[in-house]
């Protein structure tokens, strides 16, 4: 299995080495290494080795990385800045984390990653995956220092009490976002055409 090692230097096998236990001394996630991997992820075309490394990560590995400050920032940047995220999102990324959403939501570092996962889920299935997983721990999440914010943003209480109404509301929001994205794409395409036409005329 290919892993990703968040080290400053990169070896022939690019790996992320994650801790098997929280706060383990064997944890090899560094700020410098995180910055290196972020640079690789921001490339216009992410290299195949980096792609395979992230695709091969298990839910446990992703969760462990997310619970480290530098690892959490890396995963947030993966979602916000990398073209690789679109590919990962279409695969079983959300399913992989099914058993780890509550744990991450209650972690000081990982809660930011959970928030980005929620905001960047583009299908009702992805939103439902998170809501179903976390609904069993509603009372804990509502009262937890870090988790209560994402619980509020997801409107998890409504999901637990009025699931069908919650689902309809989320579907409307998703459709609005999709429409806005389409408008933005059209606007960007028109700007590119105008710029190209201006260059030709000059």
Task: Quick: pLDDT tens for 86-113.
Answer: 999 998 999 999 999 999 999 999 999 9
Q: Which residues have C-beta within 8 Å of that of residue 202, sequence separation ≥ 6?
A: none
pLDDT digits (tens, 9 = 90+) for 168-190: 999 999 998 778 766 655 555 56
pTM (two decimals): 0.78
pLDDT at 178: 77
In angstroms, the CA 153 to CA 57 distance is: 27
Residue segments in the chain with a per-residue pLDDT below the cut of 50: 1-4, 6-26
Q: Which residue has the tokens 């069993």?
A: 136
Geometric angle at alpha carbon 122, from 121 and 123, rounded to 5°: 100
Residue 72: C-alpha distances to residues 76, 79, 96 (Å): 6, 11, 17
pLDDT at 170: 96
Report how many helices (DSSP H) and strands (DSSP E) the chain contains, helices first.
Answer: 13, 0
pLDDT at 88: 94
């Amino acid at each position: 299995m290919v892993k990703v090692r968040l080290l400053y230097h990169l070896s022939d096998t690019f790996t992320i080495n994650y801790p098997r236990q929280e706060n383990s001394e064997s944890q090899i996630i560094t700020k410098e290494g995180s910055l290196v991997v972020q640079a690789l992820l921001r490339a216009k075309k992410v290299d195949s080795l980096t792609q395979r490394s992230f695709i091969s990560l298990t839910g446990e590995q992703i969760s462990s990385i997310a619970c480290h400050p530098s690892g959490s920032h890396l995963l947030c940047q993966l979602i916000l800045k990398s073209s690789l995220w679109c590919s990962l999102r279409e695969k079983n990324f959300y399913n992989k984390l099914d058993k780890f959403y509550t744990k991450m939501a209650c972690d000081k570092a990982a809660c930011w990653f959970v928030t980005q996962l929620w905001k960047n889920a583009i299908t009702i299935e992805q939103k439902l995956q998170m809501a179903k997983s976390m609904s069993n721990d509603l009372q804990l999440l509502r009262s937890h220092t870090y988790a209560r914010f994402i619980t509020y943003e997801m409107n998890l209480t409504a999901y637990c009490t009025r699931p069908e109404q919650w689902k309809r509301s989320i579907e409307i929001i998703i459709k609005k976002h999709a429409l806005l994205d389409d408008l933005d794409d059209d606007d960007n395409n028109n700007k590119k055409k105008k710029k190209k036409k201006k260059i030709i005329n000059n």
